[in-house]
Amino acid sequence: MSLAIISAMKKVLADRTNKIDASGIRKVFALAATMKNPINFSIGQPDFDIPQPIKAEAIKAIQSGANKYSLTAGDDALKEKITSQIKDKFGWQNPSTIVTSGVSGGLLLAFMTLINPGDEVIIPDPYFVMYKHLVNMLGGKCVFVDSYPDFNLPVEKISKAITDKTKIIVLNSPCNPTGIVYSAEQIKAMAKVAAEKDILVITDEIYDRFCYDGPCPSIASYYDKTLLLGGFSKTYAMTGWRVGFATAPAALAEVIEQMTKIQQYTFVCSPTPFQKAAVAAMDYDVSDLVAAYKKKRDLIYNGLKEKFELNLPGGAFYAFVKAPDGISATKFVEKAIANNVLIIPGNVFSEKDTHFRISYATSDDKIQEGIEILCKLA
């Protein structure tokens, strides 16, 4: 492309497009499509298919004509079921709920509702890639709080990072990319700090069913200024169906109301037949699937721990592994890809370039093959 064309395009494009980069994950995902039978540890989506009973409900909805727009805030039956579960789980009396186009859609609606230019958003580092870019695109300021080397919730550091410009603290547990599950003690301490400073917390709990060593604590149990985001993409392999939700206690009802208003002019609604199927999904037992992923977690951890520095992931389906001494994560990833193993450099998820992310959402055989290659490279 000529310099003249590039210059002309800069005049056409909005400035906010320069504040975000193309996803490093998607670049590797696209690369996977060009490779012959790669060991793909790159993309964060389950390797199992949507369970057949849930598919049957989607087909039934389509065949019965449930193919038009739903209400902007979502199908009533699905909203009621989500709200009922939230009441039972957290004791919220009158929660407000919106069905979103996946958790990604919920994040965009929440950030658009809450962030003004100059507002500070505290994000533990490493972080899910979308947080940084959405905040930047909306003119906010990311305040990254280092959680290396154990990736536990850095409550004291977060407390010190709060200023009079702090608008939101973002939590993600189980965490993408580290797989860490925050303890109840850490969550309670964080709730105390947030309450003392009167800071809204957004908790991204898309992986809440993938907890392998005990319950997955939520700040929603301890703090009523919490906006909780959840969804169906990971638990039921419904990544392409785009069904998520945002819910909040009565104190934040206006936030949900404004998110719904913005959804009218953006996503309109989540796909209607898949909302119908999500109602049935909420009754589907996924314990066998979670048990299979705990086995995958153990395969990865036990296979790599002698050659690499890594923490035992407590949930989700990721491991965040330190690159061998003397080499950046980006350079190690290049070596791995040259050997047919697709992994993601840590600087996609962090202000550092010391680790790489593995998604072990693939077959046990592929996991074993990948372990052998990575250990040889180390």
Domain locations in the chain? 3-50+286-377, 54-281
Position 11 confidence tier, pLDDT thresholds 50, 70, 90: confident
Q: At CA 237, angle to CA 64 and CA 269, rounded to 5?
A: 50
Q: Give start and end residues of each alpha helix (H) in the chain.
A: 3-12, 24-34, 52-63, 76-90, 102-114, 129-137, 155-161, 184-197, 253-264, 272-281, 287-304, 329-338, 364-377
Alpha carbons 36 and 8: distance in angstroms, whole number: 39
The 3 state secondary structure assigned to 52-117 is HHHHHHHHHHHHCCCCCCCCCCCCHHHHHHHHHHHHHHHCCCCCEEEEECHHHHHHHHHHHHHCCC
Return the bridge partners of 356, or none: 321, 345
Please write the tens of the pLDDT for every residue from 198-241: 999 999 999 999 999 998 999 999 999 999 999 999 999 999 99
The tokens describing 334, both together, are 């290049």
* Ramachandran quadrant class, 198 (left: phi over 0; alpha: psi -120 to 50; beta: rest): left
Position 16 confidence tier, pLDDT thresholds 50, 70, 90: confident
- Write the burial class of residue 88 (CB in 10 Å: 0-12 exposed, 13-18 middle, 19+ buried): exposed
Query: Cβ(101)–Cβ(123) under 8 Å?
Result: no
Beta-carbon contacts of residue 148 (< 8 Å; ≥ 6 apart): 125, 352, 354
Please write the tens of the pLDDT for every residue from 295-311: 999 999 999 999 999 99
**What is the arithmetic mean of pLDDT over 109-134?**
97
3-50+286-377, what's its fold? Answer: Aspartate Aminotransferase, domain 1 (3.90.1150)
Place of tokens 């039978």: 37
pLDDT of 347 higher than 80: yes
**Among 309, 280, 369, 364, which residue's Cα sits nearest to residue 48?**
364
Position 17 confidence tier, pLDDT thresholds 50, 70, 90: confident
54-281, what's its fold? Answer: Aspartate Aminotransferase; domain 2 (3.40.640)
